[in-house]
Amino acid sequence: MEKVRTAVIGVGHLGQYHARWYKNIEECELVGIYDTNATNRNEIAAKYNVQSFEKLSDLFGKVDAVSIVTPTIYHYEVAKEIISENISCLIEKPITSTVAQAEELVALAQDKSITLTVGHIERFNPAVQELKKFDINPRFIEAHRLAAFDPRGTDVAVILDLMIHDIDLALYLTKSKVKKIDASAISVISDNADIANARLTFENGAVANLTASRISLKAMRKLRLFQKSGYFSLDLAEKRADIYRLADDSLDDQSGTRIPLGKSGREILYSKSGNKDDDMLAAELRSFVKAIQNGSTPEIKASEAVEALKTALAIEKIGLANGGGVID
């Protein structure tokens, strides 16, 4: 199979790692770098001995796929030009700043028959991947994503910057649509919301309580989900899943350590898995390249990223007004 020719657009904090992996993944070839900042693009291009493109249009015809890793406010204008040239793209999260922009890109990508995916990287977290082994039907999700303040990312609210990861996971895990949002959001240091809490009620009755802060002294990325058959506690920073299932000898997989459940006469099966050394970005980019080579649907569909964005923007609006509301 032919190698996928790639480039990275925007090589700041995160884009440099996209370049590193495209250089190292066997199924692709890193052709070049484009960044509006000449110092950044020249430095990374020299590091990997690839072309430093002076204009976006210089990479047209030379690559099959790109990662767009610019600040969010530029995702739309860059992606529109790229997709128009029939180039597949992975846009970092959130897909765009507005739903109208995102929907336009999805329609354009369909029209051009290119692969469009979005960097909802937590889907590649080993702790989240572990859940694929189980029948997941959460009734209640609790997520905390706390980070220290960093001016990077403050072009958008904490909901689009950090909480969007957990919004995407909640949508993915519940496999349902959001029916109702209660939220609160506060701007503390930046001009946008820096801390937010949202309670999402899904059409299937599941509930997700999400908290995100970028003004925290302590970092934390945890998601816990509860369902009738068990409790799944994911430490996303440690890439570890602790799994507590109700033992049921009528089912096949009864592996794990047996722990008595209080005085109920029932037992819990406890198991843990995950690997801190697994690189989630490598997995994300490999999955993108594979989807291009096989002509298959990418693991993260652009339409899912649009749903996550819609929910995030609704949380921001409702949260800043400090009230509750219903999505129509």
Our CB check for ligand NAD shows the closer of 11 and 102 to be 11
CB closer to ligand NAD out of 27 and 81: 81
Nearer to ligand NAD, 133 or 152 (CB): 152
Binding region for ligand NAD (CB under 6 A) out of 11-19, 126-134, 183-191, 290-298 = 11-19
Instruction: Name the nearest CA neighbour of 234 among 226, 243, 223, 245.
Output: 223
Give the single-character DSSP code of 19. H
**Residue 286 has which token pair?**
């490999």
Pairing of strands 88-92, 116-119: parallel
Q: Among residues 100 and 321, whose Cβ is nearest to ligand NAD?
A: 100
State both tokens at 9.
């657009």
Neighbour order of strands in the sheet with 88-92: 51-53, 28-34, 4-9, 65-68, 88-92, 116-119
DSSP state of 206: -
Rule CB under 6 A: choose which of 67, 70, 97, 117 binds ligand NAD: 70
In sequence order, the β-bridge partners of residue 325 are: 181
**H/E run at residue 4:** strand 4-9
The strand ranges marked E within 116-206 are 116-119, 140-146, 178-186, 195-202
Out of 4, 7, 8, 10, point to the residue binding ligand NAD (CB under 6 A). 10
107-136 mask for ligand NAD (x: CB under 6 A)? ------------x-x---------------
Of 16-45, binders to ligand NAD (CB under 6 A) are: 34-37, 40
Q: Please work out the total of residues on this chain that contact ligand NAD, with binding judged by CB under 6 A.
A: 24
Which residues are 210's β-sheet partners? 143, 198
Min CB(100)–ligand NAD separation in Å: 18
Q: Token pair for residue 111?
A: 């029209």
Candidates 152, 177, 258, 276; binder of ligand NAD (CB under 6 A) is 152
The answer to whether 279 contacts ligand NAD (rule: CB under 6 A) is: no
**With respect to ligand NAD, which residue has the nearer C-beta, 121 or 185?**
121
Cis peptide before 71 (omega within 30 of 0): no
- Min. distance of Cβ 213 from ligand NAD in angstroms? 16
* Residue of this chain nearest to ligand NAD (CB atom): 12
Task: Report, in Å, the least distance between residue 229 CB and ligand NAD.
Answer: 30
**C-alpha distances out from residue 241 to 78, 140, 228, 263, Å:** 37, 17, 18, 26
Q: Contacting ligand NAD (CB under 6 A), which of 4, 7, 8, 15?
A: 15
Residue 181 is a binding residue for ligand NAD (CB under 6 A): no
- Strand segments, DSSP code E, in 189-289 are 195-202, 207-213, 220-227, 230-235, 240-246, 257-260, 267-274
Which residue from 69, 82, 87, 223 is in contact with ligand NAD, where contact means CB under 6 A? 69
| 74 binding ligand NAD? (CB under 6 A) | yes
Nearer to ligand NAD, 166 or 267 (CB): 166
Name the minimum Å distance from CB 94 to ligand NAD. Answer: 7
Check: CB of residue 83 under 8 Å from CB of residue 63: no
Residues engaged in binding ligand NAD (CB under 6 A) = 9-15, 34-37, 40, 69-72, 74, 78, 92-93, 119, 121, 152-153
